[in-house]
Chains A and B, each alone.
Chain A
């Protein structure tokens, strides 16, 4: 079966510290992968998406970067966190089957930058 794993669930980091969030997908190959951020009381903001290994599209200029070192692994990073990086981070993958599309989300990481 196809599943998506995202960790950690909760993270508290000081300002200026580095960040690495990892997302992996099982049971599929060459998926489209996405990183979204959801700030308190706001909608889902698309940060990055990837259609293949090493292929990253950035949607919003920011303090974050993404990498896709393997087909089913998507990593969100920062060298120095800002207070404004706090939020709920969600990884997702787009499943295509017989012309139908479904975007599935991980369980999310609640990041608090203090």
Chain B
């Protein structure tokens, strides 16, 4: 059973059209939930780490939120340069492993 599920698999937006990406997780004792951006052929770029339900973090047009079962990455007024694959990962308490979801490929059209 997957511990991390991201949806949708792909999302196509028009420039300026706000939306949200979802990351649901099933681990118990969450130690941290991580969001990344990955461009083709490159290593993932760190965006946020969230630790407890109710926590929110922002960076430019991105805002990440966390509940006990899922996290959302909200993208406000996206630009074409926001096009990338967004990855979510979780670390369970008592484990040093970080498990990733399969990602959401975001395309923002001008």
Contact = CB atoms under 8 A, between A and B. Distances in A.
B11 interface: no
Contacts of B94: none
A113 B93 CA distance: 37
B80 interface: no
A103 B36 CA distance: 10
A59 B97 contact: yes
A103 B97 contact: no
A103 B46 contact: yes
A43 B98 contact: no
Contacts, number: 57
Contacts of A36: 100
Interface of B: 31-32, 34, 36, 41-46, 49, 87, 89, 91, 96-103
Given A34-B98, A43-B100, A102-B46, 6 more contacts: A57-B96, A94-B96, A101-B31, A101-B49, A102-B34, A110-B41
Interface of A: 6, 32, 34, 36, 42-46, 49, 51, 57, 59, 88, 90, 92, 94, 100-108, 110
10 contacts: A34-B98, A43-B103, A44-B100, A46-B98, A101-B91, A102-B49, A103-B34, A104-B46, A105-B36, A108-B43
